Amino acid sequence: MSPKKDVWQGTLALMVLKTLESLGPIHGYGIARRIEQTSGDLLSVNYGTLYPALLKLEQEGYISSEWGTSDNNRKARYYKLTRAGRKQLTREALEWTETTAILARFLSSKAQAS
């Protein structure tokens, strides 16, 4: 088994928002699994990192939560995106795209120079 990377600080919130956007209301375990899957199992998300992030997002008003029951009749807390969260997602996604684009250009130009 190749060693998995921990999610680096600051990006987890964006991943959570994106996951909620594409999947709709879902519980914490589902979010963690989904992120791991999407990363092609390169990232590992555990409870200890996920829950503080979820709490923070909820306190900031980007997501909301309520208790519900799952398909196999388990009680779980379901998270969903709020209107403010949707806006935040658009904003952050844009920022990230720009940042990565700049970084990509920067790295490639460096390669040409040397």
Partner 1 sequence: MNSLRSTLLRFRNLFHNSQLDRELHDELSSYLQFHIDDNLHSGMSPTEARRQALLSLGGLEQTKLRVRDQQILPWLDTLRRDAIFGHRQLVKNKIATLAAILSLALAIGACTSAFRLIDALLLRPLPISHPERLYSLGRLGTDFDGKPADFDGWAYPDFQLMRDAARGQATLIAISYTQRVDLTYKSDQDMEKANLQYVSGSMFAAFGLQPSLGRLLTPDDDTIPGAHPVAVISHDYWTGRFAQDPKVLGKSFRIGNDLFQIVGVSQSPFTGTEPGTMTDIFIPTMMHPSAVRKDSTWHRTLAIVPPGVAIEPLRSKLDSITRAFETERSKSWVNESPEEIAQQLKFTLHFNSASSGTSGFQQDNRSSLLALGVLVLLVLLIACANVANLMVAQTSSRAREMALRISIGAGRRHLLQLVLVESAILALLSSATGAIFAWWSAPFVVRMINPSDNPVRLALPADWHVLLFGVSLTVAITCLFGVIPALRASAVQPASALKGGTDGAKDPHSRRRLMYALIAAQVAFCCLVLFVGGLFVATFQHLSNQPTGFSTDRLLVLDIVSHDPVSPVTWLQLADQLRSVPGVERVSVANRALLDHWSNNNSVSVNGSAPSSTLGYFLHVSPGWLETMKIPLLHGRDFLPADTTPGAAIVNQTFAKAFFNGENPVGKSFDELFPYGERAHYQIVGVVRDARYRDIRENTLPTAYLPFLSAEAKPWWSADGATFLVRTTTAHPLALASTLRQAVPQAHPEFRVSRIRTQLEINQSQAIRERFLATLASFFSLVALLLAAVGLYGVLHYSVLQRRREIAIRLAVGAQAPSIARLVTLPIFATVATGAAAGVLAGLLSSRFLTELFYQVRPTDASMLLLPALAMAASAVVAAVPATVRAIRTDPAIILRSE
Which residue ranges make up the site for partner 1 (CB under 8 A)?
27-30, 33, 44, 46-48, 51-52, 55-56, 59-62, 70, 72, 74-77, 84
Between 83-113 and 12-23, two packed helices, what is the crossing angle to 10 degrees?
120
| 84 vs 102 by CB, closer to partner 1 | 84
Residue 97 CB, nearest distance to partner 1 (Å)?
A: 22
Distance CA 65, CA 105 (A): 40
Residue 4 CB, nearest distance to partner 1 (Å)?
A: 10
Residue 27 CB, nearest distance to partner 1 (Å)?
A: 7
Residue 74 CB, nearest distance to partner 1 (Å)?
A: 6
Distance CA 46, CA 41 (A): 13
| 25 vs 30 by CB, closer to partner 1 | 30
Which amino acid belongs to residue 81? L
Which of 93, 69, 76, 74 shows the shortest CA–CA distance to 16? Answer: 93
Report the b/e string of 42-70 with b at 16+ CB within 10 A: ebebeeeebeebbeebeeeebbebeeeee
| 77 vs 105 by CB, closer to partner 1 | 77
| 40 vs 48 by CB, closer to partner 1 | 48
